[in-house]
Amino acid sequence: MTTVASPFEQWILRPDPRPTAVLRLICVPYAGGGPAAYHAWPRALGGAVEPWLLRLPGREARLREPPLDNVDEIVQQTAAAIAPELRSPFAVFGYSLGAWVAFELVRELRDRYGLRAAHLGVAARPAPQTPMRHPPMHTLPDNDFIDVLDRRFQAIPPMIRDSPEMRAIYLPALRADTTALETYRYRPGPQLDCLVSAFGGTEDADCPSTDLQAWGELTTGRFQLRMLPGGHFFLNTCQQQLLDALSLDLLRALVP
């Protein structure tokens, strides 16, 4: 007999369920990524935090599903799946494209479901109200698309670049996520009232500190900006520093 996953289980991976945890942390991956981007986080964050890793269609366990290419659709479907299981306090963290999804998810949970986040963490992505710095690339032919992505983010492993089979697996989600990123438009609305933490890489030319600083305009709560050593994917090269800083901010968010 086959067990059908609930909407929550379809959208959220709980690698280490912690019913007594003080806080739930919803982790949103970067473009083309999935829960594996945060595989080390449950142990590193300690028992007080229970990570909920977002499972988007078109990758990992949901590889056979068509990926979504619109931020609003991603946010609405995610919120509908998790809201019945979510309780305060909770926080949301998003990396690169995931930062914009995380921001809109916090707004959707607040506006539609009356659930207020204690903390929003964003990394490697300018604030959504800042102008785009690059021409769109999501409509480029495959080879050009991969070349531009690799030049900007150094994000395409040789195994994907050189293998038609691997391209067929990973490119649809990567292109859908890039489409979502480049077609997203920020809509002004009520400010958040939670602590917002922004993280950037000192060598990430795509996301300067001035663009990260603009995240502070989106909340009436406290704002913290930290620049960490590395390029766009300092998540991989500077993970412990990121986790140490994020853990501190999660603690601060729980203190009035």
Give tens-digit pLDDT for 48-88. Answer: 999 999 999 999 999 999 999 999 999 999 999 999 999 99
In the three-class reduction of DSSP (H, G, I as helix; E, B as strand; rest coil), residue 73 is classed as helix
Q: What digits encode the pLDDT tens for the residues 113-152?
A: 999 999 999 999 999 999 887 788 898 888 888 888 888 8
List CB contacts of 15: < 8 A, sequence separation 6 or more: 35, 39, 42, 51, 53
Residue 11's pLDDT band, with cuts at 50, 70 and 90, is very high
Active site residue 88: no
Which of 96, 163, 209, 247 is the catalytic position?
96
Q: Output the pLDDT for position 2.
A: 52
First to last CA, the chain: 49
For 205-215, what is the mean pLDDT?
Answer: 94
Contact 226, 239 (CB under 8 A): no
CA distance 183 to 146: 18
Contact 150, 161 (CB under 8 A): yes
